[in-house]
Amino acid sequence: MAYAHLIRKLTDRGAVRGARRLVECLAVMALVVSLMVAAALFPVPAMAQGNAPERVKVLVEDVTESTAADFARGQVRGIAVAGDGEQARLQGQGGEFVSGVIALPFAATHLGLHWTIRGASPESVEVAVRTGANGHAWSEWYPLTIEAEAQRPDGREVFAALAPGNRARVAQYRVTFGSTEMVALEAMTVTALNSVDGPREAVSTETSGTVDFTTPDPDNKTFTVITRAGWGCNEDNRFDGSVEKWPEMYVPAKKVVIHHTATSNTYTDGAAEVRAIYAYHTGTLGWGDIGYNALVDKYGNIYEGRHGRGAEFTDEREILSADVVAGHAYAYNYGSLGIAAIGNYQKAQPSAEMKTAIDDITTFECARHYIDPMEASAFLRSDDVWHEGLNNISGHDDVNSTQCPGRNLKSYLPTLREHVDSRLGWSSDAIPDATLTSASAREVTVDVPVTLTRQNADTYSLEGWYKASGQEDIEYLSGYSDGDRVQVWDTGATWPLDNMVTFLQSGHYTMHVRQASGGYEANLTFLVKDASATGAIHVGDLDGVSTSVGTKWTATVMITLHDANCEAVEGATVSGAWSEGYSGTGSCYTGADGVCSVTTGSMTRRSTSVTFTVTGVAKESAVYDTAANHDPDSDGTSITLYKP
């Protein structure tokens, strides 16, 4: 399941382009021997014969409930409908709300629900949906799984994974409020999708719908991939006019992350599932493309995911483009690839056909990236945080807080690793060594000499790139060809085995080393930092909500922390005090979105207001800059909330 960044993306998506100066690649010679080996392993795929595929327009339309009149059509138990007519909200603790009957704009094959929550975590409510033909013959309630989150000025928007629409014309949703937190829920949107009945058009007589790939098995097993054109991708969704919403970036993959899409298992058309997910990711979630590199359905079909190198709708376009950055795991997208099993495998079992297809595509990806499936190593996240001992083949729940890929698919991963290792038959004994000699084993400062020692290595590539905090695009610093950004390898003609690398720019660097005789590569990642960069952090936003609790009321304040670039600060402790000595939560710890919350104890109706003041912010290697605090509604340090 893709899990987002500001849509907490699970994608490291951002909005601003980098402005740093690119430097010349340090490794510029083509790798002769390794390219010969790679060519033998991965011949240029041949397009399968068949009819030209069709581009399919997915029908998408939103229905939103946000007013008091909207919520009045539903059934309330143990909670309240609060706010004025146009800005109503459901709020409470331990209760339930069942909506009125919602008319859908067309027969929906899928439903995507998203809502705004204030004063509590997204997990504080459980949301389910059901469909009906006439408002009486209802399906069973379908529990929703969180797909992504986005911080908004008025709270946190939560996006659920797609639910089955069953070609229904009416739907209902149910919200169950947890008993541990006071919750305010606003603006429930039901996104109806139909990925089957929309307009179709042939894309090109030169384009086929499948490509055959060969894995480096002793028997050279061939597997087929259904291309983007083959599953009916509407490439127009990737563009805003003539501008690509999410330009491709390329970072060599060192990890494979396995997902499930958390959608229904009752589908009969895998391509229609992929089209619906693509439309939801590109449109409703705003990502600009599908979040996975590849997808696999229960019938064993493999689908191309993220768009890569090459021209549209021609045989020259690269299928399953190597190293393209997808949006499948927050903070881990740069340097990994995501393979998604279509369906929900928390309770259901993946089919034998699905597991075989996952074996095939994972074997192929590990082979072309020289990834040892049985090993684990430290991974440097795109936000400069280290993850120790991460398996080279991992589940989504190994890198983000989620139930993805579901317990039954997760339990298959040890077998998957063994299958890939057995099929490749490569030895780990001949892996060359790579050693970084510096004051720190992993992090060095700009302009400090660094010695990179390579042993038993015939070829190497020093990959380097820089991504500014909160941005999406990267700058290529070392180890890439111009234009198509393919990794460049060297045979050692220009560098001695003991090489002094000096004056590196800030960024992520990985020394990849391989032997021409075959085997998995060794790679060593290190981080170069600019010592002059500021470590100042401050309060960037204060929001609050007041909630009635019987004859009393409570107040909750959400604090957002920013760094000097006004980007979210994770892992900081905020402390504060309530006015008049009121009790309640006095400190909190910020999450990946830079937000945490504090709540008062219950106050009587005689108290008409309460003020929370931030008294301290603490984070290792950071300074709390009180003068930089800001907020649209207050001074950024104190906020007053009034009795509801």
pLDDT (tens digit, 9 = 90+) per residue, 190-204?
A: 999 999 999 988 876
In sign, the C-alpha dihedral spanning 262, 263, 268, 270 is negative
Task: Flag whether 455 is in a domain.
Answer: no
For residue 416, give every residue at least 6 positions away whose Cβ sits within 8 Å of its Cβ, in sequence order, or none. Answer: 258, 355, 358, 359, 362, 373, 393
Closest CA to 546 of 463, 615, 588, 602: 602
Among the ranges given (180-189, 218-227, 473-482, 614-623), the one the predictor scored with the smallest mean pLDDT:
614-623
121 shares a domain with 219: no
360 shares a domain with 216: yes
Rounded Cα gap, residues 299 and 186, in angstroms:
39
403 shares a domain with 386: yes
Is the peptide bond prior to 644 cis by the omega test (within 30 degrees of 0)? no
Task: Flag whether 19 is in a domain.
Answer: no
User: Around Cβ 435, how many Cβ atoms within 10 Å?
Assistant: 14
Residue that finishes a domain, picked among 194, 227, 250: 194
CATH code for the domain in which residue 362 is found: 3.40.80.10
226 shares a domain with 188: no
Task: Flag whether 292 is in a domain.
Answer: yes
Question: Does the global pTM surpass 0.85?
Answer: no
169 shares a domain with 270: no
Task: Flag whether 485 is in a domain.
Answer: no
Task: Flag whether 473 is in a domain.
Answer: no
Q: Is the pLDDT of residue 29 over 50?
A: no
Task: Flag whether 498 is in a domain.
Answer: no
Q: Is the pLDDT of residue 46 over 60?
A: no
Residues paired with 437 in a beta bridge: 451
621 shares a domain with 558: yes
CATH code for the domain in which residue 122 is found: 2.60.120.260
358 shares a domain with 220: yes
Rounded Cα gap, residues 156 and 592, in angstroms:
13
Rounded Cα gap, residues 54 and 44, in angstroms:
24
In sign, the C-alpha dihedral spanning 261, 409, 264, 75 is negative
Task: Flag whether 431 is in a domain.
Answer: no
391 shares a domain with 317: yes
- Give the DSSP per-residue string, 566-581: S-B--S-EEEEEEGGG
Q: What is the mean pLDDT of residues 55-65?
A: 95
Which tokens in the block code for residue 275?
């089209």
- pLDDT, one tens digit per residue, over 295-347 is 999 999 999 999 999 865 445 789 999 999 999 999 999 999 999 999 999 99
Question: Does residue 293 contact residue 324 with C-beta atoms inside 8 Å?
Answer: yes
Question: Does residue 175 contact residue 91 with C-beta atoms inside 8 Å?
Answer: no
- pLDDT, one tens digit per residue, over 378-405 is 999 998 888 989 999 999 999 998 899 9
- Percentage of the residues of the chain whose pLDDT score is greater than 90: 54
Full residue range of the structural domain in which residue 549 is found: 536-642
pLDDT the model gives residue 340: 98
Highest mean predicted confidence (pLDDT) among 128-137, 164-173, 443-452, 586-595: 164-173
Helix 352-369 with 32-41: angle, nearest 10 deg: 160
130 shares a domain with 75: yes
Residue that finishes a domain, picked among 178, 194, 210: 194
Question: Does residue 569 contact residue 563 with C-beta atoms inside 8 Å?
Answer: yes
Rounded Cα gap, residues 62 and 511, in angstroms:
48
279 shares a domain with 144: no
Q: What is the mean pLDDT of residues 443-465?
A: 75
Residue that finishes a domain, picked among 134, 159, 194: 194
Rounded Cα gap, residues 539 and 548, in angstroms:
27
Task: Flag whether 303 is in a domain.
Answer: yes
185 shares a domain with 162: yes
Rounded Cα gap, residues 1 and 349, in angstroms:
16
User: What do you get for the CA distance between the two ends of the chain, in Å?
Assistant: 38
Angle at 237 between CA 235 and CA 239, to 5 degrees: 90
Q: What is the mean pLDDT of residues 358-366?
A: 97
- pLDDT, one tens digit per residue, over 538-572 is 999 999 999 888 788 888 999 999 988 788 898 88
Closest CA to 561 of 616, 634, 505: 616
Give the phi and the psi of residue 424 in degrees, each rounded to 5: -75, -40
- pLDDT, one tens digit per residue, over 598-642 is 888 888 888 888 999 998 888 766 778 888 898 877 888 999 988
Residues paired with 470 in a beta bridge: none
Q: Is the pLDDT of residue 213 over 90?
A: yes
pLDDT the model gives residue 621: 66
Question: Does residue 487 contact residue 323 with C-beta atoms inside 8 Å?
Answer: yes
Closest CA to 36 of 418, 517, 433: 517
Which tokens in the block code for residue 422?
């057995």
CATH code for the domain in which residue 564 is found: 2.60.40
To the nearest whole number, what is the mean pLDDT of the chain? 84
Question: Does residue 397 contact residue 405 with C-beta atoms inside 8 Å?
Answer: yes
Q: Is the pLDDT of residue 106 over 80?
A: yes
Number of structural domains, the chain?
A: 3
Question: Does residue 354 contact residue 364 with C-beta atoms inside 8 Å?
Answer: no
At residue 215 the predicted structure's pLDDT band, cuts being 50, 70 and 90, is confident
For residue 268, give every residue at least 6 positions away whose Cβ sits within 8 Å of its Cβ, in sequence order, or none. Answer: none
397 shares a domain with 307: yes
Q: Is the pLDDT of residue 67 over 90?
A: yes
Q: What is the mean pLDDT of residues 455-469?
A: 84
